[in-house]
Amino acid sequence: MTEALVIRANAKLNLSLDVTGVREDGYHIVDMVNRSVTLFDEIRIELTPGHPFSIKSNVRYFPTDEKNLIWKAAKKLTEKLGTEMPEARCTVRKRIPSQAGLGGGSADAAASLIGFNSLLKAGLSERELCDIGAAVGADVPFCVIGGTARVGGIGEVIQSIDDNLSCPMLIAMPRHGRSTKEAYAMLDRTPVLVHPDTDSIIKGLAEGDAEKAFLRAGNVFEPVTADEVTEELKNKMAADGAVYSAMTGTGAAVFGVFQRPREALEARDLLRTEGYGAWVVYRADKGAEIIT
The catalytic site residues sit at: 12, 139
Nearest 10 degrees: Cα torsion 69, 170, 253, 105: 0
What does residue 57 show for φ and ψ, rounded to 5 degrees? -145, 170
Q: What is the rounded distance in angstroms from the CA atom of residue 31 to the CA atom of residue 18?
A: 5
Radius of gyration of the chain (CA): 19
Nearest partner of 100 among 176, 186, 182, 188, judged by Cα: 176
The answer to whether the beta carbons of residues 159 and 40 sit under 8 Å apart is no
The answer to whether the beta carbons of residues 7 and 290 sit under 8 Å apart is yes
User: Which of left, alpha, beta for 114 (phi over 0: left; psi -120 to 50: alpha)?
Assistant: alpha
What does residue 123 show for φ and ψ, rounded to 5 degrees? 70, 25
The answer to whether the beta carbons of residues 245 and 238 sit under 8 Å apart is yes
The answer to whether the beta carbons of residues 238 and 265 sit under 8 Å apart is no
